Amino acid sequence: MLDISLFRENPQAIDAALARRGVAPVGAKVAALDSRRRALLTDIQKAQAERNETSKGIGLAKREGRDVQDLMDAVSALKEKMAGLEADERAVAAELDDLLLGIPNLPLDDTPDGADEADNVEVRVHGEKPHFSFAPKEHFELGEALGLMDFEVAARLSGSRFVVLKGGLARLERALGQFMLDLQTSEHGYEEVATPYLVRSDALIGTGQLPKFSEDLYRAGDEHWLIPTAEVTLTNLGREHILTEEDLPIRVTALTPCFRSEAGAAGRDTRGMLRQHQFSKVELVSVTTPEDSRAELDRLVGCAEEVLKRLGIAYRVMRLCTGDMGFSAQATFDIEAWLPGQNTYREISSCSLCGDFQARRMRMRSVARRKRKHAFPTRSMALDWHWGAH
């Protein structure tokens, strides 16, 4: 969530930044709602003060033996007035909150402008692409031929966009997860955390999936949702917490299944293990100070790159443009692995700086030099070994 003070100070600047993301102007509407709410709060305070003063007058009049009916009628009228003002304030506050929750984060000044992935900028390339004397097969062709992937059985069990892994491939998936966790915890200083796979709506609001992207999620009953990524649980570990400078940076990681409806993926990547409804993923989340956030993002990208370096997989790092970044991000670097069977790079890790956007939504703060400010979560949706874009 954006800082409301930004809209008070310069709503035009907010609109200009949002325009880089293709978002229609909202600054004037936010500023107007905020002004209306603050005016209502002032009126409520004035009515409360007047009511308190009138109530004191009733006591004084009674002691002096004077009639108090007019004063009691005035108190009743003020009470009714306050109830109306408070109802109006709640309605305006709800409208303002709904509007703010639907506004994406502002891109950093150095985030490339662009409409979609075609405008992303290549930062660096690592490793040599493998060359073959034959046409390399797709991963699903190899998996099915070797009897290690079964999409038909998965479809009978669960429908499309699921897979059953068998034998050595199932063991490889488990081994890759352990390898990534061991690397990040033993060498890069991340703490492993085991979190729930079901969360309340507030957790998804905190990280930005709700309310705008509910169609991409799986709901489980009235109160819970299946997590689309461990970003939700790891980042929300700091929800409604006040952190000290000594607490930072916080670096946590988790291996979890992830569940996504892929509502917007109709007709895309219909074969194989891309865009699955369920997949396993190792997540990295860092929480740090605003001053250290860019350096922490670079560090996080390096931690994710190290996995591919040790696996000997050629890859490139891309800086995402404003039109391709996620809702909560200010800046994003994607790591794309080379897939010989497709003769192209595909995203397998996305590392983003979110500023204080998620911290505000989660009411997570840090305390430094007697001042409170929001901490900066940095995250990497790191290395889904199903090679799914996420």
| Element housing 50 (H / E) | helix 27-63
CA dist 106 and 14 (Å) reads: 8
pLDDT in tens, 31-43: 999 999 999 999 9
Whether 125 shows a pLDDT value over 70: the answer reads: yes
pLDDT in tens, 127-166: 999 999 999 999 999 999 999 999 999 999 999 999 999 9
- The amino acid sitting at 330 is Q
Q: Are 262 and 216 in contact (CB under 8 A)?
A: yes
Q: Which CATH number fits domain 117-382: 3.40.50.300, 3.60.21.10, 3.30.930.10, 3.30.70.20?
A: 3.30.930.10
Whether 6 shows a pLDDT value over 60: the answer reads: yes
- Average pLDDT, integer, range 341-359: 96
Determine the pLDDT at residue 271. 82
Reported confidence tier of residue 58, pLDDT bands at 50, 70, 90? confident
Least reliable range by pLDDT among 3-17, 48-62, 262-276: 262-276
pLDDT in tens, 103-118: 999 999 999 999 999 9
pLDDT in tens, 203-257: 999 999 999 999 999 999 999 999 999 999 999 999 999 998 889 999 999 999 9
Determine the pLDDT at residue 377. 65
CA dist 89 and 299 (Å) reads: 44
Closest by Cα among 219, 186, 208 to 355: 208
Q: What is the domain partition of the chain in residue ranges?
A: 4-101, 117-382
Whether 356 shows a pLDDT value over 50: the answer reads: yes
pLDDT in tens, 161-187: 999 999 999 999 999 999 999 999 999
User: For the packed helices 167-186 and 293-311, what is the interaxial angle rounded to 10 degrees?
Assistant: 140
User: What is the strand order of the sheet 242-244 is part of?
Assistant: 242-244, 365-368, 371-374
For the chain, how long is the longest CA-to-CA vector?
Answer: 108
Determine the pLDDT at residue 123. 99
- Average pLDDT, integer, range 3-14: 96
Mean pLDDT of the residues in the chain: 92
List the CATH code of the domain at 4-101. 1.10.287.40
CA dist 203 and 362 (Å) reads: 8
- Here the tokens at position 10 are 């310069």
